[in-house]
Amino acid sequence: MYHVLFSLALLGVLAAGVYALSIYGRPPMPVPLGTVLWDYETGFTITTVVRHPASAGMTAYEVTARVFCPYGERYHWTTRSAHVFDNYGHSYYAIAGTAAQRILGASDTEHMTFVLPNGIEQPALVFDDTLGFLPIIDALRAGHPELYEPHRFNLRYD
């Protein structure tokens, strides 16, 4: 009887270890600009990033994105469709961008402006969930979810 309980406890510890490794063991995986990342039937990519001073201690990042909808889904774009996060998990949303709209064709070009503190190392841009399942997935993760986002676009390459 104790062997069975010990085996189940050991299996539980191993499963928790594998789960923890799946979260904390994934290194950041920046993708090159121009790479299309697919989320269900919607593809996203960053084509250009232009950086310039915004105000004292702040830098503006002008981001041009392409959204692809070649299938049946019609994605609804807003300035909160993507966000930037830093190495500490702080999220930053666009302060300006293309007006909210539904992507009616196979693709569209969108623009966003992010204003970030100067000292951010490798600000990373991710596109938000298209199907609305992200809150459920985030509830299953330990820690701040953006730190473990497997695919991201770095906004600085200097």
Q: What are the tokens at 8? A: 């189940």
3-state secondary structure of 131: coil
- Residue 86's pLDDT is 85
pLDDT at position 113, please? 95
Token pair 């499963």 is at which residue? 15
Instruction: For residue 133, give the 3-state DSSP assignment.
Output: coil
All domains of the chain in start order, with CATH = 2-154 (2.60.40.1240)
pLDDT of residue 77: 84
Amino acid 23: pLDDT: 59
Average pLDDT of each block of 10 consecutive residues along the chain (158 residues)?
82 79 64 87 91 93 92 82 85 88 85 92 81 55 52 81
Q: What is the DSSP letter of 155?
A: S
Torsion from C-alpha of 147, 148, 152, 154, nearest 10 degrees = 40
Structural Rg of the chain based on CA atoms: 19
pLDDT at residue 147, as a whole number: 47
Distance of alpha carbon 109 from the chain centroid? 18
Other C-beta atoms closer than 10 Å to the C-beta of 66 total 15
